[in-house]
Amino acid sequence: MRDVAVIGFGMTKFGEIWPTPLRDMYAEAAQACIKDSGIERSKLQSAYIGCMTSGLFNGQEHLASILTDYAGISGVAATRVESACASGGAAFRAAYLEVASGASDFVMAGGVEKMNDGADSTYCLSTASDQEYEVFHGVTFPGLYAMMAHAHMNQYGTTPEQLAAVAVKNHVNGALNPYAQFPMEISEQTVLGAVRVAEPLGLFDCSPVTDGAACVMLCPVDVAKDLGKPIIKVIGSGHATDSIALHDRADLASLPVVKLAAERAFAQAGIGIDDVDFCEVHDCFTIAEIMCTEALGLFKNGQGGPAAAEGVTARDGKHPVNTSGGLKSKGHPVGATGIAQICELYMQLTGRAEGRQLSSPRIGLAQNMGGSGGSSTVHILEVVS
Amino acid sequence: MRDVAVIGFGMTKFGEIWPTPLRDMYAEAAQACIKDSGIERSKLQSAYIGCMTSGLFNGQEHLASILTDYAGISGVAATRVESACASGGAAFRAAYLEVASGASDFVMAGGVEKMNDGADSTYCLSTASDQEYEVFHGVTFPGLYAMMAHAHMNQYGTTPEQLAAVAVKNHVNGALNPYAQFPMEISEQTVLGAVRVAEPLGLFDCSPVTDGAACVMLCPVDVAKDLGKPIIKVIGSGHATDSIALHDRADLASLPVVKLAAERAFAQAGIGIDDVDFCEVHDCFTIAEIMCTEALGLFKNGQGGPAAAEGVTARDGKHPVNTSGGLKSKGHPVGATGIAQICELYMQLTGRAEGRQLSSPRIGLAQNMGGSGGSSTVHILEVVS
CA distance A217 to A37: 7
Cα-flanking dihedrals φ and ψ of residue A17, to 5°?
-110, 65
Q: Do residues B133 and B255 lie in contact, with contact meaning Cβ atoms separated by under 8 Å?
A: no
State the pLDDT at residue A255: 98
Above 80 in pLDDT, residue A385? Answer: no
Separation between Cα atoms, residue A213 and residue A22, nearest integer Å: 9
CATH number of A4-121+210-226: 3.40.47.10
Please report residues of A whose CB lies closer than 8 A to that of B64. Answer: 82-83, 241, 375
Residues of A in contact with B374 (CB under 8 A): 62, 65-66, 69
The alpha carbon of residue B140 is apart from the nearest alpha carbon of chain A, in Å, by: 14
Q: Is B171 a catalytic residue?
A: no
Mean pLDDT over all residues of chain A?
A: 98
Amino acid in the structure at residue B23: R
- Is A59's CB within 8 Å of B127's CB? yes
Chain B residues closer than 8 Å to A135 by CB: 59
> Given A56, A79, A242, which is nearest B81 (Cβ)?
A79
> What is the tens place of the pLDDT at every residue in A272-291?
999 999 999 999 999 999 99
B244: confidence class by pLDDT, cuts 50, 70, 90: very high
Select from A220, A311, A84 the least CA-distant residue to B60.
Answer: A84
Q: In whole angstroms, what is the distance from residue A47 CA to residue A45 CA?
A: 7
Does the annotation mark A85 as catalytic? yes
Q: Give B136-176 pLDDT, tens digit per residue.
A: 999 999 999 999 999 999 999 999 999 999 999 999 999 99
Three-class SS state of A293: helix
Q: How far is B189 from chain A (nearest CA, A)?
A: 35
CA dist A166 and A321 (Å) reads 10
Region B106-117: mean pLDDT is 98
What was the pLDDT predicted at B385? 76
Q: From chain B, pick out residues whose CB is under 8 angstroms from the CB of A66.
A: 130, 244, 374
Q: Which fold has domain B4-121+209-226?
A: Peroxisomal Thiolase; Chain A, domain 1 (3.40.47)
Cβ contact, residue pair B61, A127, below 8 Å: yes
Rounded mean pLDDT, A339-363: 98
How many residues in chain B? 385
Q: How is domain A137-196+235-383 classified at the CATH fold level?
A: Peroxisomal Thiolase; Chain A, domain 1 (3.40.47)
Q: What is the pLDDT of residue A319?
A: 98
**pTM exceeds 0.80 for this model:** yes
Local structure of B227: helix, strand or coil: coil
Domain pair B4-121+209-226 / B139-202+235-383, same fold: yes
Closest Cβ–Cβ partner in B65, B82, B97 for A61: B82
CB contact under 8 A, B102 and A98: no
How far apart, in whole angstroms, are the C-alpha atoms of residue B311 and residue A26? Answer: 46
Task: Give the separation between CA A307 and CA B275, rounded to whole angstroms.
Answer: 65
Closest in A52, A103, A131 to B97, CB measured: A103
B139-202+235-383 homologous superfamily: Thiolase/Chalcone synthase (3.40.47.10)
Instruction: Report the gap between the CA of A235 and the closest CA in chain B (Å).
Output: 12
Domain boundaries in chain A? Answer: 4-121+210-226, 137-196+235-383
Catalytic residue selected from A85, A215, A219, A292: A85
